[in-house]
Every structure is written in structure tokens, then in C-alpha cells.
């Protein structure tokens, strides 16, 4: 009987000791911050000049927030992240080397963003790594199409399916208006796009951690846009935006020290580019407000470094 009494007293002391109640009491505070983010996403969806899909994932805890995040959207150039992942996976498998070089030919050149469309026919060669950098940083469409030819669309899609991301689908090369008009778009849900960024962050990919880091460094090469504009100066952001007429997107990874997060947002049926840009910035701002509040915060909500 005395032993049972001591166990009961000890258990009560653990539950009711000086720190326990106040620490447990902080969960409602976190929920208030989370509800504020959910509300911001819902408000952004209502104000979008079209349809907004968004997903934000806490990489440390796996907690996620979303709106319309299982709807499939066209992706524009954001789909190039999937091509980059497949390129590095194939080097890991020994199918190619990033140092392999390809000639830039007139037959490869397409309009839109990038510089390779201005190159002379067959007079220059670039490595696969160089093409990848141009694809991500300059969103070079010619570089992208050259990589698609080298990798194969079905191989890119198979790699995404193997990661459990079946909505990410590469279905046409860049700047193919007839294909687009026929409904063959490069597509994804916000849920799968954000999940791919989590895979990159955690290196849950079929490649070494060194290759994961190299892949991420390409995505972190500076470029302007809504995610970068929403975060504190110096915060690393690995991301890729995309846009085609009526559509704007981004897939990103924000490297807060203590609270990194993945984010994907996309709008289609847009009739107002400026308002769309504002809505995508609204999503990025709301995510930053939530995660920066939690970054290096104690269970009581004080900030330590």
C-alpha cells in the first residue's frame, strides 16, 4: 500500500511540478498561431483572381496547412524542380555525368525565358550541370528541353511516382502552344509540390547527401520573387517560380535555422496578374509570420539564440 501511495504521489508531482502545467499550457498558443495561418490561406483563396491552391509544411514536425491543396494545377516553369531531381538521381545511378556536354543546336531552341535561344547553331557545348543551372536560375526553356530530351519525360514521371507524388506530371516540353491548347500541361497539386520540397530538405531521395546538397545549392542561387521578398534578409531560400498565361506558381524551401518549412502556391484562371502576384505574396508572408514566430522560441514563447 505504501509503495502504491509513493507511486501516486510521484506521478502527481511529475504532472503538477513547477514546469509541467505551464509547458503544457503553451499548446493552445501554438494552435492560435496555426489558426491564424489557416485563416490567412483561406482569405488569400477568396481574394485570388482565379483559383488558389497552397500547401505549407513544417519540416521539423510534419504539421501542414493547406487550401485547395489536392487540386491539380498547371505549373509553368515550377515543374523544372522535378527535372532537376531526376537529373541528379540519374547521375547517382550512373546513367550519366553532370559533366557530360551537349551541343546547343538551332533545332533545340525555343522562345520564352533564357539565353540559349540566342546562341549560334552548334557552335557551343554546355555540361548537363550548366544546363541545370540555366534551367533553374534563368528558367531557360531551351536548356530545359535539352534536359528533357536527355532524361525522358516518362523517366521523370516515374521518379515522381516512386516518391509517392503521382500528381507531378511532365507532359510536354517548354513552349509548345499546340500541346498546351490540346490540354497537355505540366501539372501538380500544391500538396505534392510541397512534399517534393520536403524530400529535398530531408534528402529523402535516391541519392547521396552530397548530391542532395548540390541540388539544393542550385535552387538557392538568388532570384527575386514572392518567397524571397517575404523572408528576412540572408535567409536561404531554395525555390522555383513558374508562370504561363493565366497561371502563376512557386515551389520553395525556406531555411530557417530552427523551423525550416516547405511551401507551394499556385493560381490558375487568373485574369489579373498584379492581383495574382499579391495573393502569392500574401501566402508567402503568412507562412513566414507563422514560422518566424516559432523559430528559436521556447515552449513559453520567449526567443533564444
Per-residue pLDDT of the chain (305 residues; tens, 9 = 90+): 444 433 333 333 333 344 444 455 478 999 999 999 999 999 999 999 999 999 999 999 999 999 999 999 999 999 999 999 999 999 999 999 999 999 999 999 999 999 999 999 999 999 999 999 999 999 999 999 999 999 999 999 999 999 999 999 999 999 998 998 898 999 999 999 999 999 999 999 999 999 999 999 999 999 999 999 999 999 999 999 999 999 999 999 999 999 999 999 999 999 999 999 999 999 999 999 999 999 999 989 998 87
pLDDT at 16: 38
Q: Where are the alpha helices (DSSP H) in 54-189?
A: 80-93, 128-137, 141-151, 153-162, 177-181
Nearby residues of 106 by Cβ (< 8 Å), 6 or more positions away = 121, 122
DSSP letter for 9, please: H
**What radius of gyration, in Å, describes the C-alpha atoms of the chain?**
23
pLDDT at 34: 98
* Three-class DSSP category at 169: strand
| CA–CA distances in Å: residue 299 to residues 59, 94, 211, 287 | 18, 47, 35, 20
| H or E element that contains 188 | strand 187-189
CA distance 147 to 198: 23
* Model confidence pTM above 0.85: yes
Q: Distance between CA atoms of 213 and 105, rounded to whole angstroms?
A: 31
Amino acid at each position: 500500500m505504501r509503495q502504491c501511495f509513493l507511486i501516486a504521489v510521484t506521478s502527481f508531482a511529475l504532472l503538477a511540478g513547477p514546469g509541467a502545467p505551464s509547458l503544457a499550457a503553451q499548446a493552445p498558443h501554438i494552435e492560435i498561431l496555426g489558426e491564424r495561418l489557416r485563416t490567412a490561406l483561406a482569405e488569400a483563396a477568396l481574394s485570388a483572381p482565379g483559383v488558389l491552391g497552397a500547401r505549407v509544411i513544417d519540416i521539423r514536425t510534419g504539421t501542414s496547412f493547406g487550401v485547395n491543396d489536392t487540386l491539380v494545377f498547371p505549373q509553368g516553369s515550377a515543374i523544372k524542380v522535378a527535372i532537376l531531381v531526376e537529373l541528379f538521381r540519374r547521375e547517382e545511378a550512373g546513367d550519366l555525368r553532370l559533366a557530360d556536354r551537349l551541343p546547343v543546336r538551332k533545332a533545340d531552341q525555343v522562345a520564352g525565358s533564357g539565353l540559349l535561344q540566342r546562341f549560334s547553331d552548334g557552335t557551343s557545348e554546355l555540361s548537363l550541370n550548366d544546363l541545370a543551372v540555366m534551367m533553374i536560375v534563368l528558367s531557360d526553356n531551351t536548356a530545359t528541353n535539352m534536359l528533357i530530351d536527355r532524361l525522358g519525360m516518362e523517366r521523370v514521371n516515374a521518379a515522381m511516382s516512386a516518391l509517392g507524388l503521382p500528381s507531378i506530371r511532365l507532359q510536354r516540353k517548354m513552349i509548345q502552344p499546340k500541346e498546351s491548347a490540346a490540354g497537355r500541361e505540366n501539372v501538380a497539386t500544391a500538396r505534392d509540390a510541397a512534399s517534393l520540397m520536403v524530400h529535398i530538405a530531408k534528402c529523402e531521395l535516391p541519392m547521396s547527401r552530397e548530391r542532395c546538397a548540390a541540388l539544393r545549392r542550385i535552387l538557392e542561387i538568388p532570384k527575386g520573387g514572392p518567397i524571397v521578398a517575404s523572408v528576412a534578409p540572408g535567409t536561404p531560400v531554395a525555390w522555383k517560380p513558374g508562370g504561363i498565361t493565366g497561371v502563376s506558381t512557386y515551389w520553395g524551401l525556406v531555411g530557417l535555422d530552427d523551423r525550416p518549412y516547405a511551401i507551394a502556391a499556385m493560381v490558375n484562371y487568373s485574369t489579373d496578374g498584379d492581383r495574382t502576384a499579391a495573393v502569392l505574396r500574401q501566402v508567402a508572408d503568412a507562412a513566414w509570420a507563422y514560422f518566424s514566430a516559432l523559430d528559436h522560441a521556447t515552449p513559453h514563447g520567449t526567443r533564444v539564440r
